[in-house]
Structure 1
């Protein structure tokens, strides 16, 4: 009996899963269908929120598969070695379905595996599933890639988007077999789950993702353009973590948003979906961007990589309340409000003149919604080293950002409790509090809350000369 494999990766769902749907459509009743998840230690980021949350989502997916009488089998180790062993064990395995990764580590892996499958005469059905448009779909008339978002967005809007496919009734039967080849992978997965405890609540799975989507559409979408920048309101979509694991289909999001009446919030959110495609395309065209500035003229910048400053930034002890609240939110919840991601990235790269790569890698560890393309793109944007980045002379002021987007200090007090009794007048600049106010608010600067580690008002000339040199 011929065997066909479905290889799941960061597409942890059955609804509108392109490769899985094609498998159901094209496979014959007599074929033995085997679902695989391959554990590659080279991709692990051990003891990180990123790593632990992802495998919690894998566990939820495995459990949901059981309810559909689908068993997910695990392979472990180098992908090529794993599938070589699988082929030797099951010589009549002839076909594989999976959803491609178009950038970064996953792209390199897929290119190697496509060569491997072709060499073994294994028929491959591979699909772009994770984005509304693939990396080569939106190009200039001359075939070049876009480097600026706005003209990309204009063309992106004119392109038809694929519709999403609801789950069809699964009438095919899937292999429940147990074989020694899967035992090592199963044990490795059990160990990953045992090591995946998080210090905060993490709800996951297809049904949870759908609930988040419905709640966002109903409660927050239409005011999104007005409310998304205010962290205390907490009215962003929170969908990014489900999109990064594939627990939610991007086409389902697009369909749900476009089923709603037009509004400023709806248009703003649609542009955010386009940014996701844009950064995916940029990572494809600049595969070295995780370690190298896109703008060549900034590849020789001599960053001031101070371990002391970096630790203050990481731990939310810079003396700038909005920066500190944002970093503590990240460290306590594995997530950070998008406006604050820009603020803390600007502070690290422009105020402290610390290499953006340090910040990007810290986010890679801490974020439960870590997406390499968007995260690297955001950091290079803030550092003025990427494509369509903020100009080097634009420096976010952490105090005015705080006054504008957390005017009463509600968000600050939530994550920096030592500032809980500080009057609104001083909440954005507690270092300016007179001694008697410090005593009455039980927040002595330098004791209960740190002094400013750097004076933002004096940083501008230093940044300008740093970039001009």
Structure 2
């Protein structure tokens, strides 16, 4: 009889829990199913993911074969069963939220009908949503008590996995899909993909940056964050491997802060499980009646990095150029969109979904609801980041701004955060005409802050039936 290892967001051999168990089988087929609806041409997020799939296939095919199939999940499974009648067991690492959870539920029905034994594992997080709860029937809603309980839980150690050619099928059952996949991914850059690259990134971060992570993480010009999020998104590195590497190094405040970031990742996954509609609806009922302006020109200016606020513009251009954005800047740009421009956070979340190469649904949705003050344990609605103050504090010399907003490169430090302060004479002197070479600020932050607070307070009163 034949077993199938079904890969998803776990594009690695090392420390892959489902693969660890699947490799004990005598006859094993390795599968990756591509849903064409999930591949959006031109989307940096999707292109990066499938570049990682292509790299993973290259590596696997050196020893065995990663069977590629195209189509809706259940239709692919039916086709595979018809082609491979001996298939009687499936291994995979399950998803708890969103599209992945819906896919797994539909697949389970098929497996039950076909009497295919299912071996599903929790693999993507240090703790699944069910492992850290307030009570058997209640999830946490506040991070601090969740974090305290999370710290007390024992963390799994990595699983040692080795692919052996003698028990893995190498016959390509669907050559047409192989050709289709090769055509789809032929132009995608795969140089920064793969387990080896991810593990090198981890080693460098621990060696050079983790000890001072608490001091340096908020300054984008220093670039001292781990950059591991893109590899966690694809599963090219496991969170267990990261945790184990951290424990083997000196306990510092930087390490503790980074470990807390891993807990936030688990926390947002748990929140998504407990509130599965959070991609479409604010968690807090108080803020479901906010009167968003949703100005299209403002939204376009925000997307293109042309708001007239240098740090916001630099961050948005970094996203557009690289598919990644520094975490501090994700908070700044999200706060600016929702509270300065009064644009619904769901527009921003969807744009980040399209653009981020490290897009993780639970973390991205959770982060946007946090910034918009609509989520659980979110920033208070009256705490509104001042984009100029943030710029002065976290990019004091303007080095990051100058890198991405090149038209501001020649400005002196005293104007780099507020170009609009220049006189006409100074604009000519520095070769930057406001309104032509760089926009005036879209809005007056002080006035928009007052308006945003009023809108949030109105929504709160409306939800309570007072209006």
Match of 1:326 in 2: 315
Match of 1:123 in 2: 117
Match of 1:55 in 2: 50
2:69 equivalent to 1:70: no
Match of 1:411 in 2: 400
SS of 2:199's equivalent in the other structure is: helix
Match of 1:102 in 2: 96
TM-score, structure 2 as length reference: 0.96
The CA deviation string for residues 116-158 of structure 1, in whole angstroms up to 9 with x for no partner, is: 1011100010001010000111001353101110000000000
Aligned CA-pair RMSD: 1.3
SS of 1:64's equivalent in the other structure is: helix
Query: Deviation of residue 88 (structure 1)?
Result: 1.4
**Structure 1: how far apart are the matches of 2:148 and 2:37?**
38
Match of 1:183 in 2: 175
Query: Deviation of residue 381 (structure 1)?
Result: 0.4
- Give the 3 Å change call, closer, same or farther, for CA 202–294 of structure 1 in structure 2: farther
> What are the residue-to-residue correspondences of 1:378-393 with 2, within 5 Å?
378-393=367-382
Match of 1:300 in 2: 289
Query: Deviation of residue 64 (structure 1)?
Result: 0.8
Contact 1:39 1:185 in 2 (8 A): no
The CA deviation string for residues 103-125 of structure 1, in whole angstroms up to 9 with x for no partner, is: 11100110111121011100010
The CA deviation string for residues 50-72 of structure 1, in whole angstroms up to 9 with x for no partner, is: 011111100110111122x2101
**Structure 2: how far apart are the matches of 1:412 and 1:322?**
6
Match of 1:280 in 2: 269
> What are the residue-to-residue correspondences of 1:316-355 with 2, within 5 Å?
316-355=305-344
Contact 2:13 2:162 in 1 (8 A): no
The gaps in structure 2 that reach 5 residues or longer are 459-467
Query: Deviation of residue 43 (structure 1)?
Result: 2.2
Contact 1:38 1:75 in 2 (8 A): yes
Match of 2:5 in 1: 6
**Structure 2: how far apart are the matches of 1:166 and 1:431?**
58
TM-score, structure 1 as length reference: 0.96
**Structure 1: how far apart are the matches of 2:288 and 2:184?**
38
**Structure 2: how far apart are the matches of 1:123 and 1:457?**
61
Match of 2:464 in 1: none
Contact 2:307 2:441 in 1 (8 A): yes
Query: Deviation of residue 265 (structure 1)?
Result: 0.2
**Structure 2: how far apart are the matches of 1:163 and 1:347?**
41
Contact 2:4 2:28 in 1 (8 A): yes
SS of 1:96's equivalent in the other structure is: strand
Moved more, 440-449 or 315-324: 440-449
> What are the residue-to-residue correspondences of 1:29-428 with 2, within 5 Å?
29=26, 32-67=27-62, 69-141=63-135, 143-168=137-162, 170=164, 172-179=166-173, 182-194=174-186, 196=188, 203-428=192-417
Moved more, 400-409 or 133-142: 133-142
Contact 1:148 1:387 in 2 (8 A): yes
- Give the 3 Å change call, closer, same or farther, for CA 366–41 of structure 1 in structure 2: same
Match of 2:463 in 1: none
- Give the 3 Å change call, closer, same or farther, for CA 147–455 of structure 1 in structure 2: same
Contact 1:3 1:34 in 2 (8 A): yes
SS of 2:90's equivalent in the other structure is: strand
The gaps in structure 1 that reach 5 residues or longer are none
Contact 1:53 1:202 in 2 (8 A): no
